[in-house]
Amino acid sequence: MAAFLLVDTKIHDLDGYARYKCLARPIAEKFGGEYVVSGGDIRVHDDELWSPTRLVLIQFPDAIAANAFLDSDEYAPIKVMRHAFANSTAVVIEGIPA
């Protein structure tokens, strides 16, 4: 069953975050990740629980692959960069594309 990694970021260092993106993408792809959405305009219709800032959506073959990417030794130092250059929330969602 497919899984999706949804990451919301509030970037505070654009140059640093640009470096992060260049390093993170090939690692995600190594774990079978395919970028569905990366940034772009957001129109929020309801925000009672959450007000997203900048969204990235990556599809993985399954939750095991998505979590393996996030927990991998290869991604660990890159994840530190994400935390240094942006505030973020990352969620793995398991499910079948509608």
Instruction: Give the pLDDT confidence score for residue 97 in this predicted structure.
Output: 61
- Residue 98 pLDDT level (bands cut at 50, 70, 90): low
CB 10 within 8 A of CB 82: no
CB 5 within 8 A of CB 49: no
- The DSSP symbol for 44 reads -
Kindly list the structural domains of the chain, giving each domain's residue range(s) and its CATH number in brackets, ordered by start: 3-42+63-94 (3.30.70.100)
Whole-angstrom CA distances from 27 to 23, 24, 30 are 7, 5, 5
Q: Could you tell me which of 10, 86, 97 has the C-alpha nearest to residue 58?
A: 97
Percent of the chain at pLDDT above 70? Answer: 98
Average pLDDT over residues 26-51: 92
- Residue 47 pLDDT level (bands cut at 50, 70, 90): confident
Instruction: Give the pLDDT confidence score for residue 39 in this predicted structure.
Output: 85
Average pLDDT over residues 15-37: 97
